[in-house]
Chain A
Amino acid sequence: MYGSAIVRHVVTFGRVLREVGIEVGPGRVVDAVRGLGAIDLTRQEDVYFTLRQTLVSRHDELELFDRAFVAWFLRGPVAPLVRQKHERKLQAKIARDTLESGRSDDDTEVAGEPIELGASAHELVREKDFAEMTPDEFERVRRLMLLLAKTRPLRTSRRRAPDPRGDALDLRRMLRRCLRSGGDPVDQPWRSRKLVPRKLVVLADVSGSMDAYARALLLFLHALVGTGRGVEVFAFGTRLTRLTGDLATRDPEAAIARATEQAVDWGSGTRIGEALREFNAVYGRRALSRGAVVVVVSDGWERDDPGLVAKEMAKLSRAAYAVVWVNPLKGNPEYQPLAGGMRAALPFVDRFLPGHNLRSLEELAGVLAGIERRHAA
């Protein structure tokens, strides 16, 4: 077997990695030790790759791993990124704890509670602008959102399930029945394709002008992410940040705080075109948007060139199944989409909706559930 010194080294290094936020299970540590046992330990490069390939499983953890490796094995100067991440976690935890102590019940009760969206007690809260809500009202809205989020756009899966009114013969079962009738298909079992949720991509503006709405919308998105896989959420201000992972695991409030911190330079305005460009270049290229319903949430105030917004929206709408734009300003009856970015984007938008109160989110949910492929432009 391998020296116990190596085992101890790897186990400790695993702990270091966990501390910087890389998830390292015991199985991985075993793999790492076995891997080191199979290679020549005198070559540093080989040791590095062996540890990396056994302990890390995500591209976005590679940088963290490299820093930890340098600090731990090469005794290099300690990398600041590690500390930042740790602090961020701490902040999130504090935010979570504060929120939780103020909460009288937990999420599990929500599902069992008989909430009807049309109930008159909620009528007021449905119409109220998110920007004007008290924390208490906001809490009620949060629960209603959980129900709303269950409506997802659907697509047909390739898999088939038994269905007497289906459109394809279940040949396997038919054949078995044929055995009894000497090869005559007397009765015919049918199957049909199942409906499964369609991919949903949300790009939410969290810049200063969207502050009041972004919070509500992100709560809605958090509930959406909780409805299963195939939902991707991004936040943007001056930069684009992927939020999907955060929303799945963290408290939504902490996730929003983090997104805002990462995506926004205060006072520098929104760069919608640039955010869309980045999305198309990094994620669109990997076909994340192909066949998806894409929802952009923004007031359309573009700091830079509206031309870029038009160009990138064109790209996006070509790849997507449908594009929905949610603009809270549209809640005002006098609103006209005159802001440069908004005007540039509109030709490529299939549905243009407000999103300023709960009723309009219901409308959004309805649209998402029934949306059809955009017409050829």
Chain B
Amino acid sequence: MAFRTIDDLEAALRSADYLPDRGLATALFLSLALEKPVLLEGEAGVGKTEAAKALATALDARLIRLQCYEGLDVSHAVYEWNYPRQLLHIRAAQEGTVSEEELFGSEFLIRRPLLEAIDSDEQVVLLIDEIDRADEEFEAFLLEVLSDFQITIPELGTIRARRRPAVILTSNRTRELHDALKRRALFHWIGHPSIEREIEIVKLRVPGIPERLAAEAAAFVRGLRGLDLAKPPGVAETIDWAQALAALGREEIDAEVVEQTLGSVLKYREDIEAVRDETLVALIDEARSATR
């Protein structure tokens, strides 16, 4: 295994520009040590997807991502035959000289993320993103793949993983996942980071940002999360916003610049309207006094 202790992994993630809290570092460490998939749940924007990318960097592994959506099927997740090429191949050959084995050979196979991850000789981090969006039929199929790490293609036979990929599943909890799938995986809930950590994250991701600006931005976003919003901002939004503020050459926040840039923190019109005028001023005052 690549990392002997949780501390080692934490340091490697750090040098991949990702600051995990201890719980997440433990989850990823255990996932590697026990060779089990890990399911990361949490509000949108807390860095679930980023964690997989950072792990791939830390392991110097290839990241393969499967983005789930309603209606995702085997031909988009696992493999598909290249029909146009197959048809051309039949036509080009003499009549009766093409056998079925030849036609369904691996040169006509289009590999999708799951097959790619299983049938790989290098170390792979497989990110199965937003699994809760996929249909339950697909979840059942995935369960099969994740328990045996093998895929069967009727025409070619069974392909077994020579190296088990590190598997990270993420879910926004739009629905409960099947128990059987959960049983196969370690589970970690990612909450919003503490204010200190969020400041640290901003400073890491927006190099050169003034200390004070980073602290005020983090405190302001934290204040927003306390309001009743349709979509409270995640860490991703804090980073985007801090980048915008830094690009504008700001040293600290004020009502004017916040109003100009609020669109990078809040993504719904109702939310932006809810944070006008007095609310905005109060939040700014609070953020500035918290960091003074």
Q: Is there contact, CB below 8 Å, between B100 and A176?
A: yes
How far apart sit A281 and B6, CA to CA, in the bound complex (Å)? 36
Which parts of A109-126 form the interface with B (CB within 8 Å)? Answer: none
Q: Is there contact, CB below 8 Å, between B39 and A49?
A: no
* Stretch in B52-60, B179-187, B200-208, B254-262 touching the partner: B179-187
How far apart sit A53 and B100, CA to CA, in the bound complex (Å)? 48
How far apart sit A35 and B30, CA to CA, in the bound complex (Å)? 6
In the complex, what residues of B have CB within 8 A of residue A277's CB?
228
Closest to A280 in B: B230
Q: Is there contact, CB below 8 Å, between B95 and A53?
A: no
Decide if B137 is an interface residue (CB 8 Å cutoff): yes
Out of B22, B36, B175, which one reaches A31, CB within 8 Å?
B36
Closest to B181 in A: A57
In the complex, what residues of B have CB within 8 A of residue A196's CB?
135
Mask of A129-159 contacts with B, CB within 8 angstroms, 1/0: 0000000000000000000000000000111
Q: Secondary structure at chain B's binding surface: helix, strand, loop or mixed?
A: mixed
Q: Is there contact, CB below 8 Å, between A183 and B22?
A: no
In the complex, what residues of B have CB within 8 A of residue A53's CB?
23, 26-27, 30, 38, 186-188
Mask of A37-64 contacts with B, CB within 8 angstroms, 1/0: 0111000011001101110111100100
Mask of B267-286 contacts with A, CB within 8 angstroms, 1/0: 00000000000000000000
Which parts of B9-42 form the interface with A (CB within 8 Å)? Answer: 22-23, 26-27, 29-30, 33-34, 36, 38-39, 41
Decide if A375 is an interface residue (CB 8 Å cutoff): no
How far apart sit A34 and B30, CA to CA, in the bound complex (Å)? 9
In the complex, what residues of B have CB within 8 A of residue A291's CB?
70
In the complex, what residues of A have CB within 8 A of residue B243's CB?
none
Decide if B231 is an interface residue (CB 8 Å cutoff): yes
Decide if A93 is an interface residue (CB 8 Å cutoff): no
Q: Is there contact, CB below 8 Å, between B29 and A286?
A: no
In the complex, what residues of A have CB within 8 A of residue B23's CB?
45, 49, 52-53
Which parts of A224-250 form the interface with B (CB within 8 Å)? Answer: 229-230, 232, 244-245
In the complex, what residues of B have CB within 8 A of residue A75's CB?
none
Decide if A165 is an interface residue (CB 8 Å cutoff): no
Q: Report the contact-size class of chain B (Cβ under 8 Å from the partner).
A: 35 or more
In the complex, what residues of B have CB within 8 A of residue A103's CB?
none
How far apart sit A182 and B98, CA to CA, in the bound complex (Å)? 9
A39-B6, A50-B26, A158-B135 given as contacts; is B34 within 8 A of A286 (CB)? Answer: no
A53-B188, A182-B96 given as contacts; is B136 within 8 A of A229 (CB)? Answer: yes
Q: How near does chain B come to A242, taking the closest CB pair, in angstroms? A: 10
Decide if A27 is an interface residue (CB 8 Å cutoff): yes
In the complex, what residues of B have CB within 8 A of residue A339's CB?
none
Q: Is there contact, CB below 8 Å, between B183 and A28?
A: yes
Q: Is there contact, CB below 8 Å, between A281 and B81?
A: no
Mask of B158-181 contacts with A, CB within 8 angstroms, 1/0: 000000000000001111100100
Number of A positions contacting B (CB below 8 A): 48
Which parts of B199-242 form the interface with A (CB within 8 Å)? Answer: 228, 230-231
Decide if B116 is an interface residue (CB 8 Å cutoff): no
A25-B183, A158-B71, A286-B174 given as contacts; is B81 within 8 A of A172 (CB)? Answer: yes
In the complex, what residues of A have CB within 8 A of residue B182's CB?
57-58
How far apart sit A27 and B103, CA to CA, in the bound complex (Å)? 43
Q: How near does chain B come to A36, taking the closest CB pair, in angstroms? A: 10
Q: Is there contact, CB below 8 Å, between A285 and B231?
A: yes
Q: Is there contact, CB below 8 Å, between B34 and A175?
A: no
Closest to A54 in B: B186
Decide if B5 is an interface residue (CB 8 Å cutoff): yes
Q: How near does chain B come to A168, taking the closest CB pair, in angstroms? A: 12
Decide if A288 is an interface residue (CB 8 Å cutoff): yes
Decide if A178 is an interface residue (CB 8 Å cutoff): yes
Q: Is there contact, CB below 8 Å, between B5 and A40?
A: yes
Q: Is there contact, CB below 8 Å, between B73 and A175?
A: no
How far apart sit A245 and B175, CA to CA, in the bound complex (Å)? 12
A179-B103, A182-B96, A229-B136 given as contacts; is B87 within 8 A of A31 (CB)? Answer: no
Decide if B246 is an interface residue (CB 8 Å cutoff): no
How far apart sit A272 and B30, CA to CA, in the bound complex (Å)? 45
Decide if B2 is an interface residue (CB 8 Å cutoff): no
In the complex, what residues of A have CB within 8 A of residue B34's CB?
31, 34-35, 38
30 contacts across the A-B interface (CB closer than 8 A): A28-B183, A31-B34, A35-B33, A38-B34, A39-B26, A46-B22, A49-B22, A53-B27, A53-B188, A54-B30, A56-B187, A57-B39, A57-B183, A58-B176, A157-B71, A158-B70, A158-B135, A159-B73, A159-B135, A172-B83, A175-B87, A175-B90, A175-B103, A176-B103, A179-B103, A183-B91, A230-B136, A244-B176, A290-B174, A291-B70
Q: Which residues of B are at the interface with A, using a C-beta cutoff of 8 A?
A: 5-6, 22-23, 26-27, 29-30, 33-34, 36, 38-39, 41, 70-73, 81, 83, 86-87, 90-91, 95-96, 98, 100, 103, 135-137, 172-176, 179, 182-183, 185-189, 228, 230-231
List 7 A-B pairs, minimum CB-CB distance, nearest first.
Answer: A158-B71, A38-B33, A49-B26, A57-B182, A183-B90, A183-B91, A182-B95
